[in-house]
Chains A and B, each alone.
Chain A
Amino acid sequence: MSRPRTYQTEAIIIKKTKLGEADSILTLYTPHLGKIQGFAKSLRKPRSKLAGHLELLTHSQVSLARGRNLDTITGSQTINSFLPLKSDLWLTSCALYAAELVYQFTADGEENYRLFRLLLEIMAGLCQEGDRELALRYFELHLLDRVGYRPQLQQCVSCRALLEPVTNSFCSHAGGVLCPSCRHGQPLSYPLSVNALKVLRFLQDNDYGTASRLKLTPELSQEVEAVLRDYLKYLLEREVKSVAWLDMLKGQIGPAASG
């Protein structure tokens, strides 16, 4: 027993599963332990001391005690509750989508400090005024970068030639852009406009402060969204569940109405 019995970590709560009468199992995303699961006893009772500090999409300092199967959460203190995020249906949904992507793209116990920072950054970003759709695109591109699937946007992924400012193709299978002459052997590629490629590059190369100042037309925004969504789906080999919900909300009210 060389490891201490209890430990502390910062964490963002990205998933919550009910267990038994009033208990929950939480999935925490932490800076140095990666994705971990924690058992929280009696979390769903009104007098639970921990419940408010362990709600989804909360950044907290968490204490855990090692257990045989699951570590038990023994204490927690909110660092940032991201209140604006939780008071708006559209923002909550965007942040849940980001949390789901992190959940899907990570394995238990693998440290990824930059991904942790990115998730915090996007949650803070969503609390600010601005184009939240763009914020999600920024998040998607940088998440891909941090989990090892950074799309190649500078050279053709087949012939390595620098891309010309013409309509190229994006190929999820190849993980990047194909030049017009290499496109023909690839059935799973589709056209990518010059402007969309510029947007993708700009988002990929800049930090959030700079990237969030970009202004997109609805058409361009849709094209970029479609490209990234297809690539994410291809990598995960399944639908991201919250996408259907985001689409439904957008169809009903449009993100601008509540943003």
Chain B
Amino acid sequence: MDGLRPISAAVHRLVQEFSRLPGIGPKSAQRLVYHLLRAPEEQSRLLAEALLSLKEETSLCSVCFNVTDTDPCLICQSSERDRSQICVVEQPQDILALEHTGTFKGLYHVLHGAISPTEGVGTDDVRIKEFIGRLQDGSVSEVILATNPNLEGEQTAMYINRLVSPLGIRVTRLARGLPFGTELEYADDVTLTRALEGRQEF
């Protein structure tokens, strides 16, 4: 029946590829494909090149495991960063969010996941061992645990804390409290308890 398909094989193939992306169903994929078909050829060429270079030119930084074009990554190389602080995050995207604030001047470490025993994600599936390795030369004085404030993230943070504290390094956790722009009445017990515990002088 393939020969009778009313759309061209090339269109079909690209629709298939697009619909494998997260958040894109067959309809959205079709819309993207027909848009590209109508757009100037230049646009398709740029897209294709960008896609190819994504895999060819990026790798994981051998120090912090962030996604990077250079190894070590720009943050690990920079002489302006404070080398005594390392902020531990779950995903490379978390670095983007933290960097956007412009507040943190230290280094990062990307775990690429969080421990989740019921999903079978253990300590060897995230880059904890590599992180502990980074602490051995004694130049780090503070570890900031910025894993997600959910059960898996908490568990991961508690586990790392257990490994790092014996090394005599200060371990801190991002404050947990109320998000900006929300209303108190919707807050849950855990958040409110932590917010009260972590209250600060006005």
Contacts and interface: CB of A to CB of B under 8 A. Distances in A.
Interface residues of A, number: 35
Contacts, number: 75
B162 A52 contact: no
Given A20-B22, A20-B23, A83-B189, 7 more contacts: A49-B182, A51-B150, A55-B190, A93-B155, A100-B118, A241-B117, A245-B115
A96 interface: yes
Interface in A58-95: 58, 78, 81, 83, 86, 88-89, 92-93
B115 to A, nearest CB: 8
Interface of B: 22-23, 115, 117-120, 122-123, 150-151, 154-155, 158-159, 162, 179, 181-182, 186-191, 193
Main secondary structure of the interface of B (DSSP, over half): helix
B150 A241 contact: no
Given A55-B150, A57-B151, A46 B179 contact: yes
B119 A241 contact: yes
B119 A78 contact: no
A203 B115 CA distance: 32
A16 B186 CA distance: 21
A183 interface: no
B122 to A, nearest CB: 6
A53 B187 CA distance: 8
18 contacts: A20-B23, A51-B150, A55-B151, A56-B150, A56-B151, A57-B151, A58-B188, A78-B188, A78-B189, A81-B189, A81-B190, A83-B189, A83-B193, A89-B159, A96-B118, A97-B117, A241-B117, A245-B115
Given A47-B182, A88-B158, A253-B162, A248 B190 contact: no
A246 B118 CA distance: 11
A89 B119 contact: no
A15 B118 contact: yes
B23 A93 contact: no
Q: Give the one of A49, A244, A245 with max B CB within 10 A.
A: A245
Contact of B158 (A53, A89, A246): A89
Contacts of A245: 115, 117, 122
